[in-house]
Every structure is written in structure tokens, then in C-alpha cells.
Amino acid sequence: MASGKAAKHRITTEDDVEKSASKRSKRENGLSDPLRQPHHFAAEAEEHGIVLRKYYPPEMSNARAQAYNEDRIPRPIEELQDALRDTASARKGTKVGDAVVHWFKMDLRTTDNRALWEASQKARAADVPLICIYIVSPQDFEAHLTAPIRVDFTMRSLHALKEELAVLDIPLYVETVDKRKDVPGRVVEFMEEWGASHLFANIEYEVDELRREAKLARTLAEKGLALEVFHDTCVVPPGELHTGAGKQYAVYSPWFRSWVAHVHENPELLGAFDPPARNPAAARDRVAALFDGEVPDAPEGKRLSEDDAKRFRATWPAGEREAVDRLGRFCDEKIAQYGRRRNFPSEAATSSISVHLAAGTLSARTAIRTARDRNKTKKLDAGVEGIQTWIGEVAWRDFYKHVLVHWPYVCMNKPFKPEYSNIEWSYNTAHFAAWCEGRTGFPIVDAAMRQVQGVGWMHNRCRMIVASFLCKDLLLDWRMGERFFMENLIDGDFASNNGGWGFSASVGVDPQPYFRIFNPLLQSEKFDPDGDYIRKWVPELKDVQGKAIHDPYHRGAGPQAKKAGYPEPIADHKDSRDRALKAYKAGIERDKP
């Protein structure tokens, strides 16, 4: 794919310099002390493991979150834009060294990888080798709550990626750096060791990563080196879409209409970037030591047992070839019926490529382009209903990343709606343990939670059911559930996970109103009508017949369930609903004058 129009989606110096200077001034002069004060429930958040104080400050106040909303605090993306703007002249004048480096992060693929393609073009034009690096950061895995099953998938994907690149005489060097603060310095050292003057990378939109890259851009420029970063994760880069009033969208439906129109107007956004070109013939000898390096083991605390590793590897093969194959099979066999069958967890009706999108073994562009090309039209909002619906589901990933970039405090343990921080949660540890272990006495909830234990993944409809149950039936802090998902799901992605929990807990962007509360019994009857999903994951109930499978203790199967060891319900839905409504109302009205 030629750079042409795509070049406009690189962060450049075309932003409003005056606006940027104003925000830099605010940052340099500091903000008033009240904005530095933690939220009045910050101690509770810390006590219950919601804020990891080893890495992060206490939960911010609602006033500080509002300051982001009012543009009184620069967003991390703006800090990166500032750094790239300030170093633009130096970067432009940087001559290509003895090699060009691509830094892999959440883009573990050779095909349709924007920064990798750009790095290859740079290296090829200068007739120098392209060399690649990936840093294993145990502290980042810990700080970001990365599940061991996800770490295992990453390491296996690195093995596959290393083999793919080696065919092109391109080395991938993987190294563990124990302290997260040392990662940028080690990348700089690596560049200097191999005489590279250019570092290419795709942008990650979480707060830590944006701030890290902003500092790195300046550090490299001071050394006469250049950082070149690119939008790649999203089909439409964050910041491109605005309402008629020039604001960022906070509701999905109008955002999606704008997203579709933008892609139709800019079809190159779905174009594919070619794999990197083969390195010069002499490159393998010049960088031989990099080919010899092994992919390290997963860090301690993030390793699977041998049995789990074997089981999960059979269920979740890694690497971009598997990603493309899985996507192709879904589009060939299931996508046409996706709209009608996607909500039934007992059916294998979904694509199961979420882990590949999260790890970057598959790009969102490739996913949407592949689906579109199975349609009878190139329009994303026309043709086969199942294809339209699936593309709309993939687009949610773009939406939540756009939200993360514009409202970065959602990445800092705050809800999108700051006033919902004032809800007083119960923090009942026994209830939380029952929810985690799938022994709440609500069969559909327990089946879903046990699916996580079994395969490290959960059907999306069930994610909504168990999330609503945690927050509204048990009145537990939604962030405890958000953390559990990240620490246990193979497809954990911060923006999508946070957005999903925000929706279910009614504290996020475009949520269901807090007074709309899922009834787990009705959800069970509607989406698992025959109880097949429940029987698969809750074997104690495998012999319960008929409608009693959804609520055995209230439909005549109590003795049978009890004998099999299945627990009674830990909550009464009607009473829990009333309690939740009161708690939510009191919380959001707390700071009102």
C-alpha cells in the first residue's frame, strides 16, 4: 500500500500550535491544589485492590476528571502531539543510520502493520537492515492486570512472529526488562548498539504508553535520533470524528454513522499494508546475534501450569496465520447468520477473534475488509445483515479507543461519568468470591463465570449478564469485576473491557440507564432457552429438566440441585434491584447543590 493519503493519519506538525502552547503553559505552571486531592472514596478503592498504589496515585477527585472534560488538563495524546511537534525539525533532519528499528508492542503481525511497513520502506530506501525488538515488561503486565493466559498467548505469538520474520532475513530480538521505567532506556541502548537512528512504532492509546512515547520522542531527539509513530490499531484514528458542534462523540450510534461515512469517503483506510521487504542479502551476517536470541519464558507470576498451558494452547492457537485462518472460516461459514445467532452462548456463532485483535495478530482493517469483501456491496452499512452487524461489533473497538483518548481518566480508575464515583458499594467479599467462582445460585451467571475458568473466555452476552449482576444485584464495585476480567480473560483489552463494564454498570459512555437492570432469569430464558449452555458449564444441573434449569430452587428442582451440590441463590433479584436503584440515585445526587 502506498503511503499517499494514509500519511495524513500519522501524527504530524499540522495541529493548532497556539492551542498546544496554551496547554503546555498550563502543564508547566501546574494546577491548583484542589485538583490534586484524591476522591473521598479513594481509600476504599485502594483497600479493595482497585487502585494499584505500587504504580499509580490514589483515585482522582471528580473535579480533576471534570478538568479533563473542560480542557484544563492536557490529555496524554496531546502530550505526545506536543513532543512530536517540538521534535519535528530534528526528526526530519535525522539521517538513516546502520539499521532501522521497529518496536513491536500490540501489533504482533507482519501483514497490514502500518509502522512495520513504514520502517521497512525507510530501511529499503537506505539499503540498511530492518531489525525488530519486543520488550517483555513484567511490571507492565502487573500494572495492566494482564492475565497469565494472555501473556502465554503473547509469548506464543512472538515465537510465530520470529519465524515469519526470519524467512525475510529480519531478526526479532525479545528481551525481558524487569523495571518498567527502564524500558525506554533499553530501547535507546538497543538502537545505539546497532547504529540505528530511527525507531518506528504503532501508537498505543492507554495513558502510560502515550506519556512514555512523548518522553521517548524528546529523549531520542536530544541524542540525534528519531521516533516515528503511527495510528494503526483503529480503522479511523482517534480525533478524526466530531459532532456537528465539533465535539467528540459520546454515544455509539451517531458515532458509528459518522465512522461509516468517513470510511466510505476515505476507502484507503481499509487498504492493506504489505509485509516488510526482505532484508539485504548481507543483513543476516551483520545482525546474526539477533537471530540467535530466544523468546524468554513468561515472567514469574504470569506463568500457566503445564496442564493449563497445554489445554489453552489447543483451544487458542497463536500467531497471525491462525488469526487469518480463523477469520476466514468465520466469514465463509457463519457471518451471514451472525445477526440472528450471536446472542446465544450455547452456539458457536461468533468469530472468536477477539484475542487476535487485542494482541494485534490481526488488524481491525483486515477483519473489516475481509468481511466487507464477502458482501455483495462495498458499503459497510448495506448488504447481508449478518455482515453489517458484525462490522458494527468490530467498530465498537474503535469507539472505545476514541473514548479513551478523549477522556483519559477512564484509564485512571474513574468512570466516564465522574458523579457515579459517589455510589457507595457494598464490597461484600463473600459475594465477590461466589461471583468469581461461579457459585451464586443463578445458573446463567455461574455458567458464564465457569466458562472463564474453563477456556479463559466468555461469550459477550454473558459478559453483560454477569457484569450487571455484580453491580446491580450484588451492588459490588464494577471495577472489581473489570479487574477480574482483565486478570482472567485471554482477550483482555483495556478500552473494550472498560467500555463494556461502563455500559453494564451504567457508569460509562453510552450506557444503559441505571434504572434498567438485567433480570438474570429472563436473560437466561431468552438466550439459553433449552439450558444447553448452563448444563455444559454447571454439571451439577445437567439432569435438571425443563424450565427449572434456569431457577432450580424456585421451580421445584431445589432438592435435586442441593443434592448435587449446587448452591442456593445468594441474592433476591427484586430486593437487590430496589437496593441498587436507591444506591445509584443517592450517589449521583451526592454532590448536587
Catalytic center residues: 393, 396, 425, 460, 478, 501
d(CA 84, CA 217): 7
Residue 542 CB coordination number (10 Å): 12
Task: Find, among 511, 505, 508, the residue nearest to 580 by Cα.
Answer: 505
Sign of CA dihedral 363, 368, 373, 379: negative
Q: In terms of residues, how long is the chain?
A: 593
Q: Which residue's entry shows cell 447468520? A: 337
Biggest distance spanned by C-alpha atoms of the chain: 78
Give 530's contacts (C-beta < 8 A, 6+ positions apart).
Answer: 346
Burial 14-30 (b: 16+ CB within 10 A, else e): eeeeeebeebeeeeeee
Q: Which three cell numbers stand for residue 249?
A: 462523540
Q: Which residue's entry shows cell 532506556? A: 185
d(CA 455, CA 354): 14
Q: Which residue's entry shows cell 451471514? A: 336
Give 388's contacts (C-beta < 8 A, 6+ positions apart).
Answer: 339, 380, 381, 382
Q: Which three cell numbers stand for residue 373?
A: 469483501
CB-CB contact of 506 with 420 (8 Å): yes
Task: Find, among 355, 280, 303, the residue nearest to 126 by Cα.
Answer: 280
| 172 backbone φψ class: left, alpha, beta (φ>0; ψ -120 to 50) | beta
Identify the three-state secondary structure at position 545: coil
Task: Find, among 410, 430, 432, 429, the residue nearest to 420 by Cα.
Answer: 410
Q: Distance between the two ends of the chain, CA-based, in angstroms? A: 57
Identify the three-state secondary structure at position 351: coil
> DSSP alpha helices (H): ranges in 87-134?
88-92, 114-126
CB-CB contact of 403 with 509 (8 Å): yes
Q: Which three cell numbers stand for residue 560?
A: 435435586
Give how far the C-alpha of residue 256 lies from the chain's centroid of Cα atoms, to the nearest Å: 19
d(CA 586, CA 240): 37
